[in-house]
Amino acid sequence: MQKIFGYVRESTMQQAMHGYNIEEQKRVIEDYCKYHFKDYELEIFVEKGKSATSMNRPELQNLLDKARKAKANKVIFHSLDRLTRDIADLYWLINYFDKHQIELVSVMESFDLTSAIGRSHVYNSGVYAQLESERTSERTIRAIKQAVIEKKYPFSHAPLGYDKIDKKLYPSKDENQIKIVKYIFDTFAENRHNYREVRNEVKKRFDYKMDDQAIVKTLRRRLYTGTMEYRGVVVEDYCEPLIDQKTFDEANENSKIVKRPYRRAMYLFQNLVMCADCDSRMSHTCGTGRHKKVYEYYRCKVCGHRASQDMILEKKAYQLQGLANEYYRDNSGYKEKRKQIALMRKNQKKLVEMQKGQGIDVETFYELFLNYENEINALSKELDNIERKELYFDDLEKSLQKEIIHKYVKLIKVHFKNQGYKITVELIRK
């Protein structure tokens, strides 16, 4: 039985009304499967309200994960622009599915990914899809700029403290909203600038929940002084101000010395760390120090021992750097190029044996032999370039560091009984 996954997406109501609605896409995929396959199992992933210019789509990520784990045979979608409108993402997706031996099928477009020509057609289609997306974005920006110049509010939701009536902004009829905005600005203008206190006080006084990022966004919004800014367009007297310019400037100046809301913890070794004293998995936790710096830890619930993530990174820095280089080689076609060189050397030997045994034409022999030699030299130069380049583990994004670690590391054992921590890392070798 073939395992088939479908993917459907609509990002706007206009798309839903003009032939890209979810039900229509599902029907097309289901009909395609009924016509082309006899014994199959179909699961369709539905994505609503997400743009194809980003890979940050919950159902797409769910599809990628499930298709890999279930060893799916095919992934089917209505058309290429339903999957992605970014050429870089398209290239990554094709390589990802090819790596896991999953066939991509577009119902409305016929293409063959097994050949270079077929791939070029797909990439060309991807370029046009991205171009269409970028042109649409440019038209949207122009329309928003024109609306701002005309003192119309072009966005669907009015900011806190305002109501949107006939495309214009007016002070909100809900007085609590206006009081919240004024309280935030007054508090920071008077240098009473603790995000946690402001957040808690807003909840207590006005029964309104805000996170730190929402407070920062409110402080930076010049609209509250009556001036609208959008991509270089500045329009004064755009709406009735809620805050005077002096209060706005003082609040923003004082808020600059406040540390921005701290980052979320990133557990690079999640589910990999084990306490060697009792052979128990260590759970992850975090704490905050001065200036809201986040510190990640791994704790043994049996022994009570704790190891910091920074300590593990420091002690295993050399090995992690090696993993980064290995990751770069694996994703640069290093092994494939070495295999190609070995195959060409083998073909050269066969060619020499044929020339000795069958006496093929000397001119033909040298032509074929030199062709192989030229290709070997070209591949060798590429290998040299790959070997010279290094990925520095410490400079990588945390998400990529975690990806590298989980690709190669099977287990990290932490020994606590000895003086100092002795950490051993077992690598996965495929």
Give one DSSP letter per residue of 8-69, joined into a string: EEE-SHHHHHTT--HHHHHHHHHHHHHHH-SSEEEEEEEEES--TT-S--HHHHHHHHHHHH
Q: Judge: domain 162-255, CATH 3.90.1750.20.
A: yes
Local confidence band at 13 (pLDDT 50, 70, 90 cut-offs)? very low
Local confidence band at 114 (pLDDT 50, 70, 90 cut-offs)? low
Are 242 and 224 in contact, with CB atoms under 8 Å apart? Answer: yes
Phi, psi of 410 (to 5 degrees): -90, -40
Show the tokens assigned to 347: 């073909």
Report the DSSP beta bridge partners of residue 297: 285, 308
Q: Judge: domain 2-135, CATH 3.40.50.1390.
A: yes
Query: Rounded to whole angstroms, how far apart are CA atoms 243 and 215?
Result: 15
Query: Rounded to whole angstroms, how far apart are CA atoms 212 and 195?
Result: 6
In angstroms and rounded to an integer, the radius of gyration of the C-alpha atoms of the chain is 30
pTM as predicted: 0.42
Are 402 and 268 in contact, with CB atoms under 8 Å apart? Answer: yes
Where is pLDDT greater, at 218 or 129?
218
Out of 21-25, 254-258, 260-264, 350-354, least confident range: 260-264
Three-state DSSP class for residue 420: coil
Mean pLDDT of the region 80-101: 83
Query: Rounded to whole angstroms, how far apart are CA atoms 87 and 128?
Result: 9
Does the pLDDT at position 235 exceed 90? yes
CA triplet 272, 412, 287: central angle to 5 degrees?
Answer: 65
pLDDT of residue 14: 47
Does the pLDDT at position 45 exceed 90? yes
